[in-house]
Amino acid sequence: MYYRYKALIVDLDSKEFSVKELNKDLVRKTLGGCALGAALMYRLAPKTPDPLKENVVIMAPGALTGTPVPTASKTSFFTISPLTGGWLESVAGGSIGLELRSCGFEALVIKGKSEAPCIIRITDQNFSFEDSDWGSDALDAAEKLSKGGYSTACIGQAGENLVRFAGVECDGRQAGRGGLGAIFGSKNLKGIAIKSTGDIEPESPEVLERLVKKWYDALLQHSSYRDDTKYGSGEFLEWMNSERGTFPTKNWQLSVFENRKQIDPYYWAPKYSVKNNGCISCVKPCGKMFVIKEGKYSGTKIDGPEYETLYALGGNVFNGNIEALARANELCDRYGIDTISTGGTIAFAMELYERNIITKDDVGYELRFGDEDALLKTIEQIAIREGFGNLLAEGTARASEHLGAQRYAVHVKGMDPPAYDARGLKGMALAYATSPRGACHLRAGVYGIELTGKWWKYSDIDRYSTEKKGDMVATMEDLMSVYDTLGICKFSRHVYFAEGLPELVEAVTGIKYSVEELFAIGANANWMKKLINMRQGISKDSLPPRMFLDPIAEGPSKGARVTEEELSIMLKDYYRARGWSEEGEPSKEQINEVDDLTKEVFYG
């Protein structure tokens, strides 16, 4: 039997564990990961004005996670974000999901708050709490926690200090975005360690074995395989600059980074990367073990930097020194903070500094674009919440309100955007606006379509046009939710597409779903995310002022921007495609369907 229909509930208030039986129908209709997480959040998450005070954390491996389906590596965490105040899913490719499934659980639910810093340790059916110290960085903590062969999820100092964009370290990968780490910190939870000797029982093992080989071959034979694995996710950085001019730079004041040569993996991978790194069950590893052996940053050793980080700690803060960038990446990983938001917040502060809105008196030192020492110092100040860093630790949105500088704050719903300048990619602009967790490239994953004009069933997509975007973003959000539901990495979507998924679902879970039915599961998950956001009082889908007011300054996309009217046209199309009202609210029928589905998430 593949599903065990069980969830482990951890109550940090009373320090108690309980095993609950999950509603079978609910599990079979949501499969796992994102859709199951959305359903559980819909029922179990409190309406919370302060996510750092009252909140839950739910962890659910993807439906295929824990099997050898190539790149089915993802485990998702769900909570109410301290950065956006709304729905947060944070996804990572560690092995903790495999271990949870081996223990016989489809989900882990963490409630309450521990009195003192603690660890949750799960060994098969033995559950215990351990005291923990505060103060160790995320990588050291993981190393310590994993002794005995455990898979782990843990925070560094930034999570302890409630930095609103702190992440969680998961076996060398990160659930980075949206502040999950601060929620761990707010619960006095340093980490989770899980180990099990239990079997995972796919329904059709022979078929699965054959499919694993089939998709392994397909992934390795794909034309993109060589460059993807050799140079990692930053492989197209030069092209993003010189051909598209959509590489956000200097807090989005520019869209081409003139000093990009050194941060291009074609330059640094041969020089600094000593080997590939990847998530569990990944046969096309995008991670690079980056090592600096001499000079000022000697001793730096990280898994990275990946594309978004090359923007966040490179172009966006105008840093063209790859060694400083790698060091900044290492600081983020060790303190346990999201690189994208760290870079976004610092870039915002640097712009204010150069505009004299803040001065040396406020910051304590000079904070100019391109100053690597200032960059590194500010990362530390944020992580330990010292001086001006204490304000930046609140995130771009809150800091901008405090300083009255909203005009220069680039975020959506409080989330700093990733490295796609949406002014020259209208579909991305819509996707940033509608993403339930705030600006994100992976909720809809339309950047590839926008940049190249075609993918899957899409062709002739004009990146400057608003046409077809509403429907496309809704469909792609649903597809990406299916990927997160199954736990398959989105960087394999050009191989599995949608059509490859049903046979895998059937071989593993025994449940026969058509492509359309899988899409319906994805759509349903997106209704629930929206409803959770509405419950939290977050209903407006919009964009930062810069995207409306400041056209792209130079390069191939020069002059491009998104007007408020264009966004509202696309939003209308998008809401229509979803069957939502003009204000973006799910229909009565949809709400009823969700209520029905989640009426009883547990038996008894």
Partner 1 sequence: MGLIVVSHPEKCTHCRECELACSLHHEKKVNPKKSRIRVIRASYDLSVPSLCTHGYGCALECVDSCPMGAIEENNGFVGIDEELCDGCGACVDVCPFNAIRLFDGKAKKCDLCGGEPVCVSLCSQGALTFEEGKTVDKRVFNEIKKVVEERREDYVLQI
State the residues that interact with partner 1 by CB under 8 A. Answer: 66-68, 70, 95, 98, 102, 139, 143, 146-149, 172, 197-202, 205-206, 208-209, 212-213, 216, 219-220, 229, 274-285, 287, 289, 291, 301
DSSP designation for 115: S
If we measure between CA atoms, which residue out of 52, 54, 33 comes closest to residue 44? 54
Question: Which CB, 219 or 562, lies closer to partner 1?
Answer: 219
Question: Which CB, 281 or 339, lies closer to partner 1?
Answer: 281
Question: Which CB, 147 or 588, lies closer to partner 1?
Answer: 147
CA 398, chain centre distance (Å): 20
- 331 vs 320: CA distance, rounded Å: 17
Quote the least distance from Cβ 225 to partner 1, whole Å. Answer: 9
Question: Which CB, 280 or 531, lies closer to partner 1?
Answer: 280
Quote the least distance from Cβ 326 to partner 1, whole Å. Answer: 14
If we measure between CA atoms, which residue out of 54, 105, 52, 58 comes closest to residue 79? 58
Question: Which CB, 143 or 366, lies closer to partner 1?
Answer: 143
Question: Which CB, 51 or 94, lies closer to partner 1?
Answer: 94
Question: Which CB, 205 or 545, lies closer to partner 1?
Answer: 205
Secondary structure of residue 288 in the 3-state scheme: strand
List residues bridging with 121 in a β-sheet. 128, 193
Question: Which CB, 278 or 343, lies closer to partner 1?
Answer: 278
Quote the least distance from Cβ 600 to partner 1, whole Å. Answer: 30
- Taking a C-beta distance cutoff of 8 angstroms, is the pair 372, 295 a contact? no
Quote the least distance from Cβ 278 to partner 1, whole Å. Answer: 4
- 61 vs 59: CA distance, rounded Å: 7
Quote the least distance from Cβ 34 to partner 1, whole Å. Answer: 21
- Taking a C-beta distance cutoff of 8 angstroms, is the pair 52, 182 a contact? yes
Which spans in 411-468 are helix H? 426-434, 447-452
Secondary structure of residue 458 in the 3-state scheme: strand
Quote the least distance from Cβ 482 to partner 1, whole Å. Answer: 22
- Which helix or strand (DSSP H or E) is residue 136 part of? none
Quote the least distance from Cβ 69 to partner 1, whole Å. Answer: 9
- 431 vs 419: CA distance, rounded Å: 13
Quote the least distance from Cβ 74 to partner 1, whole Å. Answer: 13
If we measure between CA atoms, which residue out of 258, 259, 250, 310 comes closest to residue 286? 310
- Taking a C-beta distance cutoff of 8 angstroms, is the pair 90, 167 a contact? yes
Q: Which amino acid is at 328?
A: A
If we measure between CA atoms, which residue out of 258, 257, 271, 273 comes closest to residue 311? 257
